[in-house]
Amino acid sequence: QRWGTFLKEAGQGAKDMWRAYQDMKEANYRGADKYFHARGNYDAARRGPGGAWAAKVISNARETIQGITDPLFKGMTRDQVREDSKADQFANEWGRSGKDPNHFRPAGLPDK
């Protein structure tokens, strides 16, 4: 029963993370990425321990991958990648801890 609940929450949390990513791509709004990081983690963590676990795993994997791809495709330096990742992880943890993701919402971002 407990494992089943955990896995269900993890699946729902993964969907929440995917939805935030899709919304970020659709919005295509400069400076909004931290908001979507926080929102995805917030929504996933509200599912329960499984959702919080999924959000953390997905967030860490995303940052690891971006650490490789950003220098190659965005021309970012290692220092820039490190700083961006640090800010992303701050927003991720903010959302996972239950704090309001709107703290990171930029002015003018249209409602979904």
26: domain CATH number? 1.10.132.110
Report residue 69 CA to chain centroid gap: 17
> Does 16 map to a domain?
yes
Question: What gap in Å lies between CA 109 and CA 112, rounded to an integer?
Answer: 9
Residue 26: give the domain boundaries.
Answer: 2-104
pLDDT per position as a tens digit, 88-104: 999 999 999 999 999 99
CB-count burial class (<10 Å; 0-12, 13-18, 19+) for 38: buried
| Torsion (CA) 107, 108, 110, 111 in degrees, nearest 10 | 40
Q: Is residue 110 situated within a structural domain?
A: no
pLDDT value, residue 18: 98
Torsion angle of the four alpha carbons 36, 39, 41, 46, in this order, in degrees rounded to the nearest 10: -160
In-domain check, residue 111: no
Q: Global pTM? A: 0.93
pLDDT tens digits for range 3-51: 999 999 999 999 999 999 999 999 999 999 999 999 999 999 999 999 9
Q: What is the pLDDT of residue 4?
A: 96
Q: Which residue has the tokens 């801890």?
A: 97
Per-residue model confidence (pLDDT) at position 1: 75
Cα 52 → chain centroid: 11
In a domain, 99, yes or no: yes
Is 71 a domain residue?
yes
Q: What is the pLDDT of residue 35?
A: 99
From the CA atom positions of the chain, what is the Rg in Å? Answer: 14
C-beta of residue 47 within 8 angstroms of C-beta of residue 19: no
Does the residue 112 lie in any domain? no
**Which amino acid, one-letter code, is at 35?**
Y
Mean pLDDT of the chain: 97
109 domain-assigned: no
**Count of structural domains within the chain:** 1
